[in-house]
């Protein structure tokens, strides 16, 4: 598996769904949230670690703008008001229904954002290559939250709780998640680990998810073994011959961007490209299309439900 997609190409493919809760992401400040403009990624990570060790400053009169649905839903659970929300076709929490929309995650409307006089603009670490320069040029501070894994989401929630005086709500939200996920993970214990190949489809193409992607993280938590051993990147490209050599027991297909079109693309690919018929997973009818409303490219508040469904797919005969 030698063909890695460059960071910008990966995000370009994944951010077709920008502005929704499943923004495509790659690492920038591992396991942390980071703040600010005019800093390198390394400086952002250092700044974040310092903030987390010293305790983030509390903001009780904050004017907050969120640029992704996943962040917006987290803010709702933390009982925080906003002044601006992302433009999306997804339904946002009721408390934010009449707020100004500030554009999609990858290309926010900076003129509108600045007109709202925000104290905080929240985005995600994987959008740094796309939005950092825009924020810098408009002298707009941004806080980057890592939603690349469930653990990253936990830390992001705790950071937001500290910053905006919602530590109690953040602790409750994280603890509830941990309890649910632990219970679900325990149902997978004692089962033989299947080897799982995860295909992430976007209109016209697909990538292969590694263990370091969000979906890969879910597979690992469910007790599955990722068929791809690449490290240091969330997604890679490959050809079907190489994928066949990985001998997956299960193939998961995740459609993003325009799910119906992507699922049709997958069906065409599996029907026309004969090599798929030589995969054991195909021969044994163990190819599954994941529900795009539950499975995205980043962690969100549907993670527990997604993990539960994944366990059912991996171990259909388990009681």
CATH of the domain at 244: 3.40.50.1980
Which residues lie closer than 8 Å to 134 by C-beta, 6 or more apart? 108, 110, 140
The answer as to whether 132 is a domain residue is yes
Average pLDDT over residues 166-192: 95
Residues 220 and 153 in one domain: no
Q: Residue 145 in contact with residue 71, Cβ under 8 Å? A: yes
Average pLDDT over residues 195-207: 91
The answer as to whether 306 is a domain residue is yes
Give the pLDDT score at 16: 44
Instruction: Give residue 38's Cα distance to chain centre.
Output: 25
The average confidence (pLDDT) of the chain is: 83
Supply the range of the domain harboring residue 213. Answer: 191-314
The residue with tokens 């980071």 is 34
Structural domain ending residue among the three candidates 183, 203, 237: 183
Residues 29 and 115 in one domain: yes
Structural domain ending residue among the three candidates 183, 211, 228: 183
E strands, the chain, in order: 34-35, 64-66, 120-124, 143-145, 195-202, 205-209, 225-226, 235-236, 250-255, 287-290
- Cα gap 73→50, rounded to integer Å: 27
Give the pLDDT score at 202: 82
Q: Residue 21 in contact with residue 298, Cβ under 8 Å? A: yes
Q: If pLDDT is split at 50, 70 and 90, which confidence band does 162 have?
A: very high
The answer as to whether 3 is a domain residue is no
Report whether pLDDT(25) > 80: no
Give the pLDDT score at 268: 93
State how far the alpha carbon of 58 is from the alpha carbons of 62, 163, 164, 167, in Å. Answer: 9, 4, 5, 10
Closest of 243, 207, 241, 248 to residue 226, by C-alpha: 248
The answer as to whether 11 is a domain residue is no
Helix, strand, coil fractions of the chain, as percent rounded to 5: 45, 15, 40
Residues 173 and 237 in one domain: no
Number of domains in the chain: 2
Residues 171 and 211 in one domain: no
The Cα diameter of the chain in Å comes to: 60
The answer as to whether 131 is a domain residue is yes
What radius of gyration do the chain's Cα atoms show?
A: 20
Residues 270 and 135 in one domain: no
């Amino acid at each position: 598996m030698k063909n890695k997609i460059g960071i910008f190409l990966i995000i370009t493919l994944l951010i077709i769904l920008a502005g929704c809760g499943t923004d495509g992401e790659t690492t920038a400040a591992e396991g942390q949230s980071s703040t600010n403009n005019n800093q390198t990624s390394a400086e952002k990570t250092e700044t974040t670690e310092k903030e987390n060790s010293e305790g983030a400053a509390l903001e009780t009169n904050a004017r907050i703008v969120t640029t992704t649905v996943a962040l917006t839903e987290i803010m709702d659970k933390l009982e925080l008001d906003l002044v601006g929300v992302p433009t999306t076709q997804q339904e946002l929490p009721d408390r934010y229904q009449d707020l100004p929309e500030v554009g999609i995650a990858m290309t926010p409307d900076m003129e509108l954002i600045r007109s709202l006089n925000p104290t905080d603009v929240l985005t995600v670490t994987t959008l740094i290559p796309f939005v950092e320069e825009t924020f810098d040029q408009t002298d707009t501070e941004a806080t980057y939250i890592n939603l690349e894994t469930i653990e990253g989401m936990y830390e992001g929630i705790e950071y937001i709780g500290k910053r905006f005086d919602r530590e109690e709500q953040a602790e409750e939200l994280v603890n509830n998640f941990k309890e649910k996920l632990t219970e679900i993970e325990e149902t997978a214990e004692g089962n033989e680990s299947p080897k799982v190949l995860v295909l992430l489809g976007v209109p016209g193409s697909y990538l292969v998810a590694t263990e370091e992607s969000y979906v890969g993280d879910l597979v690992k938590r469910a007790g599955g073994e990722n068929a791809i051993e690449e490290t240091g990147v969330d997604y890679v490209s490959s050809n079907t011959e190489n994928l066949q050599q990985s001998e997956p027991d299960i193939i998961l297909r995740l459609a993003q961007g325009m799910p119906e079109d992507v699922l049709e693309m997958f069906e065409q690919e599996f029907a026309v490209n004969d090599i798929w018929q030589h995969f054991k997973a195909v021969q044994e009818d163990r190819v599954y299309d994941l529900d795009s409303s539950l499975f995205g490219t980043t962690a969100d508040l549907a993670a527990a439900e997604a993990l539960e469904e994944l366990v059912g797919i991996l171990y259909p005969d388990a009681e």
